[in-house]
Amino acid sequence: MRTYTHMHTLTMTILLLFASFTVMGQQIAEKTLVKSFNLGEAQTVSLNVDAPVEVRETDNPLLRVQMKISIKDGSNALLKSLVRAGRYNLKHAINEEGTYELTAPALDMPVKIGGKPLADQVSFVIIKPRKVAFSAPALEQEKEAAQTASSL
């Protein structure tokens, strides 16, 4: 009878140890990056990134971009190294029509960590001057979905 108790205790200890390692491996690393842009004379801004976008307005003449990043099953050290490597860098240019275009070209590049694709989630909060128009693919998709839903 006593052997059964020791065996039961050993089995439970191993199971709890395994469960604790599994839970520890499922961490979520999060970071918010902030960058401001002087728009100059531009009256229109376009964010050409396929990610959720929230738009707010301000009386400040600068465009402020907050990029919220989270990585499932990742560490803060991994996220920090991806930031340093330039994965989340924003590029800007003014096109022929005078639109101030923001892109994040490295977000489209596939990244593998330990043989598995990186599962990073990126979203944006755009704080724009009141007088500046703003567009983004994610906002256009939301408008189309809302129109489709209201027509049903």
More confident residue, 8 or 130: 130
Mean pLDDT of 120-146: 84
| b/e sequence 1-11, b meaning 16+ C-beta within 10 Å | eeeeeeeeeee
Question: Is 12 inside any structural domain?
Answer: no
Report the phi/psi class of residue 42: left, alpha or beta, with left for phi > 0 and alpha for psi in -120 to 50: beta
Per-residue pLDDT at 143 exceeds 90: no
Q: How confident is the model at residue 21 (pLDDT cuts 50, 70, 90)?
A: very low
Spatial neighbors of 6 by CB under 8 A, at least 6 apart, are: none
Cα distances (angstroms) measured from residue 15 to each of 1, 3, 9, 18:
21, 18, 10, 5
Domain that holds residue 104: 27-139
pLDDT at 7 (0 to 100): 56
Q: Does residue 7 form part of some domain?
A: no
State yes or no: pLDDT of 96 exceeds 70.
yes
Q: Total structural domains in the chain?
A: 1
Single pTM value for the model: 0.75
The band of 17, judged by pLDDT with boundaries at 50, 70 and 90, is: very low
Residue 13 located in a structural domain: no
Task: Name which of 50, 40, 88, 49 is nearest 67 in CA terms.
Answer: 88
Strands 44-47 and 133-135: parallel
Residue 148 lies in a domain: no
3-state secondary structure at position 130: coil
Evaluate whether residue 119 is within a structural domain. Answer: yes
For residue 20, being part of any structural domain is answered with no
| Residue 14 placed within a domain | no
**The two three-digit tokens of residue 27, written as one number:** 């961490």
